[in-house]
Amino acid sequence: MTLLNITPPHATVAFAIQRRVLFFPKAVGRTLKRWMAAVFAERARQADIIVLRQLNDRELKDIGLTRGDLREGLIEAARTRNRMQQSRRS
């Protein structure tokens, strides 16, 4: 009985190593992108808080906020934005 199409074990190991070497930079790139996106989102949130804190109570009331709502409102808006971005990726 002769077996055909048998790949030597060293060939599959070399292929597996080659795939990992090729995909590693992509994985690092994705991780860096996510990290940078999180940093940018946090900086944008901080800038929004600064701008909103400069508004007076009447201006805040006009947009439906109070001073106590600023931090929680922006955190909820960030969560909503993240859910929308992740649903677009899927």
- DSSP letters along the chain, please? ----SPPPHHHHHHHHHHHHHHHHHHHHHHHHHHHHHHHHHHHHHHHHHHHHHTS-HHHHHHTT--TTHHHHHHHHHHHHHHHHHHHHH-
Write down the pLDDT at residue 36.
92
**Domain boundary assignment for the chain:** 27-89
Query: Which sign does the torsion angle of CA 62, 43, 41, 70 carry?
Result: negative
**Global pTM value:** 0.53
**Average pLDDT across the chain, whole number:** 78
Torsion of CA 20, 22, 25, 31, to 10 degrees: -60
Give pLDDT tens digits for 45-73.
888 888 888 989 899 888 887 888 777 77
